[in-house]
Structure 1
Amino acid sequence: MSHVRAAVLDDLDVLTHLLDEYRQFYQQPSDPEGARRFLSQRFGLGDAFILVSENARGEVDGFVQLYPGLSTVGLNARWTLNDLYVLPQSRGQGSGRALMEAAATLAQDHGVPRLVLMTQVSNARAQALYESLGWQRNNEFYSYLLNV
């Protein structure tokens, strides 16, 4: 059973490793220094919520990161669940599910009515997890990107 808690600055080393692996999962080059700098900024600015999961041995084995935002259409808050990553050896043991459930609870505790996320079309394992937790695929909007 996984234990989920808010990340603290003392988690920076293990989070740096997890974020670097997460980025590599998405075909980005390894950049531990960049990952550490990025996470340090999140802690310093307080502009994200980071939760970590701990396995039965008390080792951090995954994280989820949420970014607060607003919905003009909904006239309310809408958070983006931007990152979910669990170490390969810990997958299938409930860490991802625990992180997702904790993220939903955190949003609810803050009065946030909606979480949104994007995942790769080919990431069927993640999609199965999301759908098992009641997330619904958005078929009404396209996602666009612009590099500037």
Structure 2
Amino acid sequence: MTSFRISLATAADAEQVGVLFDLYRQFYEQPTDPAGATAYLRARLQRGESIVLMAQTAGGELAGFCQLYPTFCSVDMAPICILYDLFVAADYRRQGVAELLLAAAGQQAQAYGAVRMELATAVTNTSAQRLYESTGWVRDDAFFHYAKVIAGSTETLPHG
């Protein structure tokens, strides 16, 4: 069985993680844009706007990543983290990579001082729902979440 090492990504890792980030975006029906994916990640990491965790094999091959966005909850008057992205390369699925990344994300959120993590997943993504529920996440049935496209944006709804 392959062992995996989880580490924090830096801006220097943006190109490597960008390959998987581009595949992740394609899953959500976005056009491929490796350069854009890399630039986006590099900017987030350089500015300290997100926390990116990488899962690598002993040989250094990237197996998966997740991205947290630190933010705040006004009601709780406390920091929280949004787990916005989680992706495991096809060759490494069902080997515990996602579970390792989720555990490491929890450790990073705790180090940040967050009182909780939040995420959203597609209603049709039942495999992700099973993963989250098996690792202690609880589905929020108390709130509806809404989205609104800003005028002039090329954004389309719905997606992750």
Return the TM-score normalized by structure 1: 0.96
Contact 2:4/2:56, CA 8 A, preserved across alignment: yes
Question: 2:77 aligned with 1:78, yes or no?
Answer: no
In structure 2, the partner of 1:112 is 114
Could you tell me how far apart the structure 1 residues matched to 2:125 and 2:47 are?
31
> Higher relative contact order at CA 8 Å, sep ≥6: structure 1 or structure 2?
1
Could you tell me how far apart the structure 2 residues matched to 1:68 and 1:9 are?
17
Contact 2:65/2:87, CA 8 A, preserved across alignment: yes
The number of equivalent residue pairs is: 148
Partner secondary structure for residue 122 of structure 2: coil
Could you tell me how far apart the structure 2 residues matched to 1:19 and 1:108 are?
24
Partner secondary structure for residue 124 of structure 2: coil
In structure 1, the partner of 2:16 is 14
Question: 2:66 aligned with 1:64, yes or no?
Answer: yes
| Structure 1 residue ranges without an equivalent (≥5) | none
- How far residue 60 of structure 1 moved from its aligned partner, in angstroms, is 1.2
Partner secondary structure for residue 64 of structure 1: strand
Could you tell me how far apart the structure 1 residues matched to 2:70 and 2:14 are?
21
- How far residue 10 of structure 1 moved from its aligned partner, in angstroms, is 2.9
Q: C-alpha root-mean-square deviation of aligned residues, in Å?
A: 1.0
Could you tell me how far apart the structure 2 residues matched to 1:41 and 1:10 are?
11
In structure 2, the partner of 1:131 is 133
Could you tell me how far apart the structure 2 residues matched to 1:134 and 1:71 are?
21
Query: Aligned letter for 2:84?
Result: N
Partner secondary structure for residue 92 of structure 1: coil
Which of 4, 7, 16 does residue 6 from structure 2 map onto? 4
Could you tell me how far apart the structure 2 residues matched to 1:81 and 1:106 are?
11
Could you tell me how far apart the structure 2 residues matched to 1:57 and 1:44 are?
26
Could you tell me how far apart the structure 2 residues matched to 1:15 and 1:140 are?
35
| Structure 2 residue ranges without an equivalent (≥5) | 151-160
